Amino acid sequence: MKKIKFLAVTAAICLAMSSLAGCTGTDSGKTSETTAESQTTAASTEESKDTEESKDTEESKDTEESKDTEESKDTEESKDTEESLEPQPTGDDSITPELQKQANVFVSNFAEQGIKSFDRQNADLKQVLDFVHMFLKINSQDNLKSDGNYESFTYEKAQDVAGKYLGYIINEDDVKALPEIPEEFDASKMPFYKDGSIVYYGGDGEAHTGIAIVDSIDNPGDGTLVLSYTAYNIDLDTYWDLTADQLKEYYKLTADQAKKDPTLTASYQGKATVDVGQSGSYILIKLEAN
């Protein structure tokens, strides 16, 4: 009887514990699993959020940096363009050696011919062709055909020189309308026209000792430059002994150096108003002696 009662009590206790453990185990397992899944989901969500925010931040940063870079590039390019197109104001102390030589050579093209005045708006064909003729004779004899009695050059070469240095367009019909070479010598009728060429009487032994040294370059702000210069004559004995390379050395002189050079004699002062070409070259608008 005691044994049966003990077994019954034991069975009841085991059944109660089994029931309690079974309920608690099931709920605890589900709760733990749900909690873990919830934590994993939350962590994933936070990581995803952080990743998206980081990505957005990086993309935003890249976009801003790209924008800043493009704006900086545009600013630099704009600045370079403006600086290349805008004539730079220049005074006595700021003329570079390269600019000094360029300006000296340009104005010397007129001083060596003794030309003291020119106005593009009022220039006539003879004045322009006279300049072209002497320019070729002094500086580019390969483009001047000479047979001793006559010197000639083509209309195309005349157009090239006149356009480059004077900004002047020569009408071909006007050239063809020039007089023919007369049977008797008559220099007053020059230049002449023959077979597509402009013709002058020939001559040798001329000394072109004139040069010009630019004293200052001013920018009036209207797209032009004003070259103020002094015209000099090279000592004649020195001139005849000069080689081509030695003559070129004169074009490098500054205003102060020219004043101190014993082989130079000042002749007159003048001003050349010029356009500035895209390549930086000068094109004469007006030339006047003081």
Residue range 85-110, pLDDT digits in tens:
344 444 445 789 999 999 999 999 99
Q: Are residues 139 and 195 in the same domain?
A: yes
Owning domain of residue 189: 119-207
Res 240: pLDDT: 94
Q: Are residues 147 and 290 in the same domain?
A: no
CB burial string 219-237: b at 16+ within 10 A, e below:
beeeebbebbbbbbbbbee
Q: Are residues 99 and 170 in the same domain?
A: no
> In the chain, which ranges are continuous DSSP H helix?
2-85, 97-111, 125-139, 155-166, 172-176, 236-241, 244-250, 255-260
Res 91: pLDDT: 46
Residue ending a domain, among 207, 222, 250, is 207
Q: Are residues 106 and 123 in the same domain?
A: no
222, 274 Cβ separation under 8 angstroms: no
Q: Are residues 73 and 3 in the same domain?
A: yes
DSSP bridge partners of 286: 119, 273
Q: Are residues 134 and 276 in the same domain?
A: no
Q: Are residues 215 and 176 in the same domain?
A: no
This prediction's pTM = 0.68
Res 47: pLDDT: 45
Residue ending a domain, among 189, 207, 225, is 207
Structure tokens at 19: 């029931």
Res 127: pLDDT: 97
Q: Are residues 245 and 106 in the same domain?
A: yes
* Burial degree of 253 (CB within 10 A; 0-12, 13-18, 19+): buried
Helix (H) or strand (E) holding 115: none
Res 203: pLDDT: 82
Q: Are residues 128 and 271 in the same domain?
A: no
Q: Are residues 132 and 60 in the same domain?
A: no
What is the end-to-end Cα distance of the chain in Å, rounded?
152
Q: Are residues 78 and 134 in the same domain?
A: no
Res 119: pLDDT: 98
DSSP per-residue string spanning 201-222: E--------EEEEEEEEE--SS
Q: What is the pLDDT along the chain (290 residues), one digit of tens a residue?
A: 434 333 333 443 333 334 434 433 334 333 334 443 444 443 444 444 444 444 444 444 444 444 444 444 444 443 333 333 344 444 445 789 999 999 999 999 999 999 999 999 999 999 999 999 999 999 999 999 998 799 999 999 999 999 999 999 999 999 999 999 999 999 999 999 999 999 999 987 688 999 999 999 999 999 999 999 999 999 999 999 999 999 999 999 999 999 999 999 999 999 999 999 989 999 999 999 98
Domain count, the chain: 3
Res 50: pLDDT: 47
202, 188 Cβ separation under 8 angstroms: no
